[in-house]
């Protein structure tokens, strides 16, 4: 959705925990401003959680 409007979100990912049970964290930035943070059992799940939070923040600011 953001990309269709000419906005490119940037995700910064990290993981912690043992290799067999990593916990991923992801932070999403738009125009160098943090909009959401998420965690999950996979990188994709963490990014999705961060994106949902960012969408909520953007929706509430309008």
Q: Note the pLDDT of residue 41.
A: 97
Domain count, the chain: 1
CATH code, domain carrying 56: 3.30.160.20
pTM of the predicted model, to two decimals?
Answer: 0.86
Query: pLDDT above 70 covers what percent of the chain?
Result: 92
Q: What is the span of the domain harbouring residue 53?
A: 3-60
Highest mean pLDDT (candidates 1-5, 51-55, 58-62): 51-55
| Cα distances (angstroms) measured from residue 58 to each of 15, 26, 29, 45, 52 | 26, 17, 12, 20, 10
Rounded to whole angstroms, the Cα distance separating 20 from 55 reads 31
């Amino acid at each position: 959705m953001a990309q269709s409007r000419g906005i490119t979100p940037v995700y910064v990912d990290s993981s912690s925990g043992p290799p067999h049970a990593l916990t991923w964290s992801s932070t999403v930035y738009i125009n160098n401003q943090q909009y959401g943070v998420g965690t999950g059992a996979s990188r994709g799940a963490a990014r999705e959680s961060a994106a949902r939070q960012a969408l909520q923040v953007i929706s509430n600011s309008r």
